[in-house]
Structure 1
Amino acid sequence: MYNYYFAVASRNFLINEEPIEEILRERTSYYKSINKDIDFWFISNPTFIHSPKIQDIHKKLNGSSAAIISFDKNFIQWLKLRIGFVIIGDFKSSFLIETSK
C-alpha cells in the first residue's frame, strides 16, 4: 500500500487565483538540485475525492477540483500554510501514481 497526502481545492482557485504553477516549478527545481525524485503530482478532477472515506471533502468543493498529491506529508502541510484555502488529507492506495519522464 502507498500512503498519499493531498491538498485539494477548486480547480479555478488553484490554477487562476494561486501561483501553484510557480510553487510546483520551484519545488521541482529544488528536488533536482538535491537529486531527489519528484514525489508530488498536480491532478485535475481527482477521482479519489469520491472515496467513501473522504466523501465529506467532495461535498465541500463546488464544481471541478484539483489536487496536489504527494508521498511527503510535510510538503502537503507546508502547502496548506502557504496557500491557505485548501483541504488536506490522506488516503491509501495499492496503486502507484506514475508519470512519464
Structure 2
Amino acid sequence: MAQALCTNAAGTQCRATSSCRRAAAPRVAVPARVQQQQQSSRAAAAPAASRVAGRRAASVVASAVAEQAASQQQAPVTQEWYALVANAEFYCNDPQNESLAEQLRERVRYYKEQNREMDFYLVPNPAWLDAKFPAQGKQVKRPCMALVSTDKQWIIFMKLRLDRVLKIDLAGMSKDEALQAGEALPEFKKLDKWTAPYPMYTPGWWKAFYPPGAN
C-alpha cells in the first residue's frame, strides 16, 4: 500500500507520518443569533455615521454663513451719487421752475416722517464739475448748481420734471466729494413780473438744502 509523501523542512520528501501531518483548523459555525446581532449592529451604525456626517456638514455651512455675514458687516457700503446740473438762476429764480422749492420741502417732510437720513442736496457751483467732467461743464452756464442724490430713480424722475438739466453719474465719488461746493451764488435779480397766485418764494430759499458747511 502506497504511503503519502510530504516535504520536510530541508526540502526533501519523506513518508508522511502522524508527526508531520498538519491538522486542518476546524471551521466553527456562527450561531444564527450572533449573525443577527452583528447585522443589527452594522445596520444601527450606518444611520449614526450618517447623522454625524450631517452634523459636521451643517457645522461647516453655518461657519461659512457666519464668516460671510461678518465680512459683509465689515465691508463699507458704497453709495453711488447722481447729479442734475443746470444754471443756478434756472434752479433758483426761474418762474417756470418755481415748484422746485415746494417739491424739495415735501421730500424733507416725508423723510422726517420715515426717519430717513437726508440723501439729496443742492450744491452751488460743484467743485467736481470742471475737475472731473470738463466736457459736460462746458455745456452749463455759470454760476451753476447741482441737485445731487443717491436715489437714482428719483433723479431720473426729476430729470424728466425739470427737463433743462444735465444728468451726470458721479461714479466712484465719496459723499464728501459729491457734496463739495465751490463759490457762493450771487444775488439774483428780482423778477419784474410774477403771475403766480401766491407770493414769490423768499430769496435764498435754496440755502436750506445746501450740504453742511456750504456757503
Q: TM-score, normalised by structure 1?
A: 0.85
Identify unmatched segments of 5+ residues in structure 1. Answer: none
Shift of 1:95: 4.4
Query: Could you give the per-residue CA deviations for residues 53-78 of structure 1, whole angstroms, max 9, x where no partner exists?
Result: x2221010122100111111111111
* CA–CA distance in structure 2, aligned partners of residues 94 and 24 of structure 1: 23
* CA–CA distance in structure 1, aligned partners of residues 115 and 137 of structure 2: 35
Query: What letter matches 2:165 in structure 1?
Result: V
1:7 aligns with 2:120: no
User: Which residue of the partner structure matches residue 55 of structure 1?
Assistant: 134
Q: Percent identity at matched positions?
A: 30
Q: Structure 1 runs of 4+ off > 6 angstroms?
A: none
* CA–CA distance in structure 2, aligned partners of residues 95 and 40 of structure 1: 11
Secondary structure of 2:90's aligned partner: helix
* CA–CA distance in structure 2, aligned partners of residues 95 and 83 of structure 1: 24
Query: What letter matches 2:139 in structure 1?
Result: K
Query: Could you give the per-residue CA deviations for residues 2-34 of structure 1, whole angstroms, max 9, x where no partner exists?
Result: 421011100000001122222211111111122
Identify unmatched segments of 5+ residues in structure 2. Answer: 1-77, 180-210
Question: Which of 10, 22, 27 is the aligned partner of 2:102?
Answer: 22
User: Which residue of the partner structure matches residue 150 of structure 2?
Assistant: 71
Count of residues paired in the alignment: 99
Query: What letter matches 2:167 in structure 1?
Result: I
As a proportion of its length, which structure holds more strand? 1
Query: What letter matches 2:83 in structure 1?
Result: F
Q: Relative to structure 1, is the Cα distance of residues 12 and 84 closer, same or farther in structure 2, using a 3 angstrom cutoff?
A: same
* CA–CA distance in structure 2, aligned partners of residues 63 and 81 of structure 1: 22
Query: What letter matches 1:47 in structure 2?
Result: A
Asked whether the equivalents of residues 86 and 140 of structure 2 are also in contact (C-alpha less than 8 Å), the reply is yes
User: Which residue of the partner structure matches residue 122 of structure 2?
Assistant: 42
Q: TM-score, normalised by structure 2?
A: 0.43
Secondary structure of 1:60's aligned partner: coil
User: Which residue of the partner structure matches residue 82 of structure 1?
Assistant: 161
Quick check: 90-99 or 16-25, which moved more?
Answer: 90-99
Structure with higher RCO (Cα < 8 A, 6+ apart): 1
Secondary structure of 1:78's aligned partner: helix
